[in-house]
Amino acid sequence: MGFQFVGISKAEFLEEDAPRLEDWLKRSYQGKMSYMENHFDKRLDPTKLVPGAKTVVSLMYNYFTEEKQQDPEAPKISMYAHGEDYHYVIKDKLKSLLNFIQDEIGEVQGRCFVDSAPVMERSWAAKSGTGWIGKHSLLINKEAGSYFFLAELIIDLELESDGPIKDYCGTCTKCIDACPTDAIVGNQVVDASKCISYFTIELKDEIPTDMKGKFENWMFGCDICQEVCPWNRFSKKHQEPSFKASQALLEMKKQDWTELTEEVFRKLFKKSPVKRTKYKGLMRNIEFLD
């Protein structure tokens, strides 16, 4: 089905994550993302989210591409959003995988998750040994870097667990040093309310003026901490046709973006995660870069 890595964990309360999550919320690092404050118990205990759950299957799906927007002055879109919305593409694959398990084994109940419910996906992926959590708080795989979508099957089938692997970041601080808004405030801790991705995707209000000139031309998301990560020298091109960027998108010049009409926006981002900002939000971001 195209997943590159898979790991298995026992579905149980994430004891180490509880105080970290509590502290993160207490410091208001979630900014205006109030949904992060909801379902605290479900976020930490998959058996509360999926009754009868015994196992969390963590999967990784590559989205790395060498395709780039051709105009170096054009405002930039994060690599994950070049093609179709990953939520739908990967959810379909997860459903097929669950059906396959049911066909092979029999009565197995569970749910599929792709960044769509209160699931601590990086914690589960790290617990299952598919990688470790880097200083920038993203999951890094030793063989293939960090340009991955994470997904989970939480099922009532008992499987043998894999264990975590060690952290290979060492003394490297490239991601911390490169972040133009100083959003990485500690090891594996990101103050989301300072992150370019938060400002350009999640924040619905005006972008604070003290951030002016710090976005390094990112209009939707940001890949800076991944671009500088030495582990991403092992990234390989994805093989997913749905994630391929349209030629029209790659060829757009800076002027095309500043003059973007709502009609072109709808056409260009018909099945894209960029739709999340809506036309008005994307234009706000583009204007903020000037």
For residue 194, pLDDT beyond 90: yes
Catalytic residue among 115, 156, 162, 167: 115
For range 137-154, the mean pLDDT: 98
> Residue 116: its pLDDT value, please?
81
Helices and strands of the chain, counted as H and E runs: 12, 10
User: What's the structural domain count of the chain?
Assistant: 1
> Residue 100: its pLDDT value, please?
96
What is the length of the chain? Answer: 290
pLDDT tens, residue by residue, 29-69: 999 999 999 999 999 999 999 999 999 999 999 999 999 99
Q: Please name the amino acid found at residue 204.
A: K
Cβ atoms 223, 79 nearer than 8 A: yes
43 CB-near residues (< 8 Å, 6+ apart): 21, 118, 119, 120
E-only strand ranges, 40-82: 55-62, 76-77
Better-predicted residue by pLDDT, 117 or 8:
8
> Residue 89: its pLDDT value, please?
97
Nearest alpha-carbon partner for 229 in 148, 285, 127, 122: 148
Which domain covers residue 28, as residue numbers?
A: 1-159+167-290
Q: Distance between CA 267 and CA 179 in Å, rounded?
A: 32
How far is residue 19 CA from its own chain's centroid?
Answer: 22
For residue 147, pLDDT beyond 90: yes
Q: Is 71 a catalytic residue?
A: no
For residue 247, pLDDT beyond 90: yes
CA distances from 261 to 143, 245, 267, 283 (A): 42, 20, 10, 9
pLDDT tens, residue by residue, 97-106: 999 999 999 9
Q: Give the pLDDT band (50/70/90) at residue 95.
A: very high
Q: Give the pLDDT band (50/70/90) at residue 174.
A: very high
pLDDT tens, residue by residue, 104-138: 999 999 999 999 889 999 999 999 999 999 999 99
Rounded to the nearest integer, the mean pLDDT of the chain is: 97
